[in-house]
């Protein structure tokens, strides 16, 4: 049961970007077609990834086990910021679903979906994770304790690994 309710650490950034790309396409599809019912599987997918990583998310599982391995060598990144980012996505997708179900106007839903387009677009296209950046800010502010992500709290090993070999 513990394994089922765990989030991977590290996460393959390539798989995360694939997931973000499908989220981006789904949200754009909702906005352009008005197929708001797609908010149901979208919200489910985010919540499944927050709670179990890729285990109960068909998209997460496919991205990790089928697509990302075909994109070359893994690119490991810390898991806790990615889980936080999935949580932000879950909150936004759930808010969009609620506003759609309770509203006579789609405007509020579309505003939330536009925010998801920005976040998913930045992650999938540029590898810039807004949720990860917010997580980092919360760590620096002391809201998230260093024990949550030791690698995030001390980036020295990553910086040293990124240095060109000649300067070592």
Predicted confidence (pLDDT) at residue 147 exceeds the cutoff of 90? no
Q: How far apart are the first and last CA of the chain?
A: 44
Residue-wise DSSP of 117-163: HHHHHIIIII---HHHHHHHHHHHTTSS-GGG-HHHH--HHHHHHHS
For 12, the 3-state DSSP assignment is strand
Write out pLDDT tens, residues 30-66.
Answer: 999 999 999 999 999 999 999 999 999 999 999 999 9
Q: What does the pLDDT read at residue 108?
A: 93
Digit-coded pLDDT (tens) for 111-127: 999 999 999 999 999 99
pLDDT at 42: 98
Say which residues have a Cβ less than 8 Å from residue 12's Cβ, sequence separation at least 6.
Answer: 64, 68, 74, 75, 76, 77
Mean predicted lDDT score pLDDT of the chain: 90
Residues in the chain, overall count: 168
Residue 136 has pLDDT above 60, yes or no: yes
Sequence spans of domains, the chain: 11-167
> 109 and 36 in contact (C-beta within 8 Å)?
yes
**Angle, to 10 degrees, between the axis of helix 13-33 and the axis of helix 39-52?**
160
């Amino acid at each position: 049961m513990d394994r089922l309710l765990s989030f991977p650490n590290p996460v393959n950034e390539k798989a995360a970007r694939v997931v973000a790309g499908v989220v981006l396409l789904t949200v754009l599809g909702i906005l352009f077609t008005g197929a708001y019912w797609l908010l149901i599987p979208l919200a489910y997918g985010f919540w499944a990834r927050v709670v179990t990583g890729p285990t109960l998310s068909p998209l997460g599982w496919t991205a990790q086990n089928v697509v990302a391995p075909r994109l070359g060598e893994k690119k490991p990144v810390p898991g806790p910021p990615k889980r936080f980012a999935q949580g932000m996505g879950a909150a936004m997708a759930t808010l969009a679903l609620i506003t759609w179900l309770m509203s006579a106007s789609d405007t509020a839903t579309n505003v939330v979906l536009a925010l998801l387009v920005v976040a998913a677009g930045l992650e999938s296209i540029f590898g810039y994770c807004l949720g990860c950046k917010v997580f980092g800010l919360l760590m620096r502010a002391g809201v998230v304790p260093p024990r949550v992500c030791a690698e995030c709290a001390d980036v020295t090993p990553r910086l040293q690994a990124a240095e060109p070999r000649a300067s070592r």
